[in-house]
Structure 1
Amino acid sequence: MGRRLVLCLMLWAGSALADERVAICFNYGCLSEATVALSEERLAEIRERLMLADSALAERAILALVLGQLYRWAGEQSPISADRPGDFLDDEAYGRMDCIDHAESTTRLLTMLEARGYLRFHVVAPISRRVRWLVAQHFSAVIRERNDEAPDTGARFVVDTWFGEHGDPAVVLPLEDWLDGEGPNVS
């Protein structure tokens, strides 16, 4: 019985220290995926940064920077470092990302942070889509301010990593403003 307990504890300790794995989409429309590993050491750095937030506003500001860092680390293990802002600057590079790739990958990263308890003022919401001019559409990850007294009622914000260069901070703005076309001007 003692050996079984020791073996179980060893297996548990090994899994507790295992890297966090997240699938990252690329090559437009989530056509390709790469699983990246985030070490506990790196995740501890992310946790420390997010724990500095003392309000939802502060958490969003830190989250924008943290997502840029997570994308830089993901780019060390996958071809997404070739990604450029928008959709037309990538020049067909392997690893390019459209808004669908960014929305899905960012949502996965946010979900990982939420599952670890790193988001104290927000919860991850479903991906949002905006449609303008009948044919132009854009997708983004979304977070919602946590409201324990009235769940599902907090203000919603897009967390959009598509607009900037690979590893730049995410654009975080109110969902309603984004739906009205707000955000940096890129193609």
Structure 2
Amino acid sequence: MRQAALAAAFFLLSGAATADEMVAVCYGYGCSAQAEIRYSTGQQGEVRRLLAYAGDPASERIILGKVVGRLYRWAGEQSPVREDRGGNYADSDAPGKMDCIDHSTSTTRLLEMLQRLGYLRWHRVLAAEPRYLLGVIANHWSAVIEEKGGGRYVVDSWFVNNGEPAVILPLEEWKKGAGPDV
């Protein structure tokens, strides 16, 4: 009996998923459409196990890029975002196409889910940020995380095709235009 109680306490305290999570993912440019995506307890457990391998902030960022890609791949199994391609032009008129507003909003929501579940040990989620063209026109947006006691980083899924790892860069480099050319 005591072993069962200890096992139950360990399960609850370990951050193990106990219910499906729902996250609204934007698409259609400007978040004009949304799909409610269900992440099962099994999927959450897979993500938790991946992130548990992170031994420091840098490794958590590497794994986090892969996790965000995996979350989008699962979202694509439930919605038209499976058709999204990196940038704004490769997906043409695909029904699930996403611009940077869709990505920054959705990726922030996905990161907030991971944070709420207790899966992020080295980072916290901040509000999405813009980068400016010529210092005056917000021409691109991205989700942002902050290393606990350290720097800020963008988690930018807009650069890649659906299901591929998100690009993670220092915020200040990204604001100066860093990132893949799409």
Q: Report TM bin, short chain.
A: 0.7 to 0.9
Shift of 1:45: 0.5
- When residues 107 and 136 of structure 1 are mapped into structure 2, their CA distance, relative to the original with a 3 A threshold, is closer
> Does structure 1 residue 142 correspond to structure 2 residue 141?
no
Matches within 5 A, 1:24-173: 24-133=25-134, 134-135=136-137, 137-147=139-149, 154-173=150-169
1:3 matched residue in structure 2? none
Name the aligned partner's letter for residue 101 of structure 1.
D
**Unaligned regions of 5+ residues in structure 1, if any?**
1-15, 148-153
> What are the Cα deviations for residues 19-76 of structure 1, in whole angstroms up to 9, with x where unaligned?
1000000000000000000000110010000010010000000000011000000000
> Does structure 1 residue 178 correspond to structure 2 residue 163?
no
Structure 2: distance between partners of 1:45 and 1:90: 29
Structure 1: distance between partners of 2:110 and 2:51: 14
Aligned length: 165
Structure 2: distance between partners of 1:86 and 1:135: 18
SS of the aligned residue for 2:59 comes to helix
SS of the aligned residue for 2:65 comes to helix
SS of the aligned residue for 2:77 comes to helix
Moved more, 44-53 or 130-139: 130-139
SS of the aligned residue for 1:117 comes to coil
Shift of 1:126: 0.9
Name the aligned partner's letter for residue 49 of structure 2.
E
TM-score (norm 2): 0.88
**Unaligned regions of 5+ residues in structure 2, if any?**
1-16
Contact persistence 2:130–2:138 (CA under 8 A): no
> What are the Cα deviations for residues 66-100 of structure 1, in whole angstroms up to 9, with x where unaligned?
11000000000010001011001111211100000
Structure 2: distance between partners of 1:94 and 1:161: 18
| Runs of 4+ deviating beyond 4 Å | none
> What are the Cα deviations for residues 123-151 of structure 1, in whole angstroms up to 9, with x where unaligned?
0011010011454610000000013xxxx
SS of the aligned residue for 2:160 comes to coil
Of all paired residues, the percent bearing the same amino acid is 52
Name the aligned partner's letter for residue 88 of structure 2.
D
TM-score (norm 1): 0.86
Name the aligned partner's letter for residue 87 of structure 1.
N
Contact persistence 2:26–2:105 (CA under 8 A): yes
> What are the Cα deviations for residues 151-175 of structure 1, in whole angstroms up to 9, with x where unaligned?
xxx3000000000111110000100
Name the aligned partner's letter for residue 43 of structure 2.
R
SS of the aligned residue for 1:177 comes to helix
Instruction: Provide the alpha-carbon RMSD of the alignment.
Output: 1.2
